[in-house]
Amino acid sequence: MQALLDVILPVFLVIGFGYAAVWRGLFADSAVDGLMSFTQNFAIPCLLFRAIWTLDLGQNFDPLMLVSFYTGSATGFVLGLLGARYVFGRDWEDAVAIGFCCLFANSLLLGLSITERAYGDAALEANYAIIALHSPFCYGIGITAMEIVRARGTSAARLPVTVLKAMFRNALVIGIALGVIFNLGGVDLPAPVTDALDMMIRTALPAALFGMGGVLYRYRPEGDGRVIAYVCVVVLIVHPAITWTLGRVFDLPVAAFRSAVVTAAMAPGINAYVFANMYGRARRVAASSVLVATGLSLGTTWVWLAILP
């Protein structure tokens, strides 16, 4: 119970404040869009750039930790894709969007926040190693799969160019890429610049969590209950269970094991809806899955934290 009160509840209270503020008309819908645009396109890319730039890539990029996490992530995509197609009878484009919901865990807003509150700032290095690959990995799979199913019967020669252009229009990917370049190049920045970056970073997570509450109010559940329940099972149980199992098999260090499992146990991120909206497919399922799974994760995250070492 103490873990719930001290670690999880404050994060969800910030989300709840955003939800309530929009619900009661105290925070305009347009303000939510502006806040999310600021956090997604500026503050969080600054956070990712700073974290990857200063990360010890050799020490923190544990291949076995990444295999543990991303095997679960990729399995979730396959289960979401095939389940949507063959169990629920959705067309292939919808199936890819639903698969993406099962692929893209909320590694940033929820994963970072809960890991930090549970284990402290020092525990976040493994999270940043996961996050560095998260957007490129997930968008790479999602965009490639969607472009393949959309290109049925036509030439796929331009597929690699389409995928790369779509990925590098994403501010999160750009922030990560710049962080890697500065890290490998040993680039230093003047103190005023890093101080300005730190000011941006301090706003990133609380502002994004508050804005996320407003977004979740906008996309309240409507129908598709069986598909949404299926997504919730895959993202909240199957993904972390696979990560847990592989982490035990690989005998991961405790810090890496915690970060991998906590991140795997997160609900789908807002990017699940962004991806669905980008292609105009399964938007209601994506938005409702983010909302329902985020609510359910209040309980499931408590369970995962309780059994972690």
**Could you report the per-residue pLDDT of 226-252, keeping only the tens digit for each?**
999 999 999 999 999 999 999 999 999
Confidence at residue 220, expressed as pLDDT on a 0 to 100 scale: 67
> What DSSP character marks residue 122?
G
Q: What span, in angstroms and rounded, lies between the C-alpha atoms of 7 and 11?
A: 7
CB-based contact 229:87 (threshold 8 Å) = no
Q: What span, in angstroms and rounded, lies between the C-alpha atoms of 134 and 132?
A: 6
Average pLDDT of span 172-192 = 86
Name the residue range of residue 231's domain.
2-307
Could you report the per-residue pLDDT of 288-297, keeping only the tens digit for each? 888 889 889 8
Q: What span, in angstroms and rounded, lies between the C-alpha atoms of 118 and 3?
A: 8
Three-state secondary-structure class, residue 243 = helix
Total domains present in the chain: 1
Q: How far apart are the first and last CA of the chain?
A: 16
% of the chain exceeding 90 in pLDDT? 35
CATH for 248: 1.20.1530
Query: What is the residue-averaged pLDDT of the chain?
Result: 85
pTM of the model: 0.79
pLDDT exceeds cutoff 60 at 3: no
% of the chain exceeding 70 in pLDDT? 90
pLDDT exceeds cutoff 80 at 5: no
pLDDT range class, residue 60, cuts 50, 70, 90: low
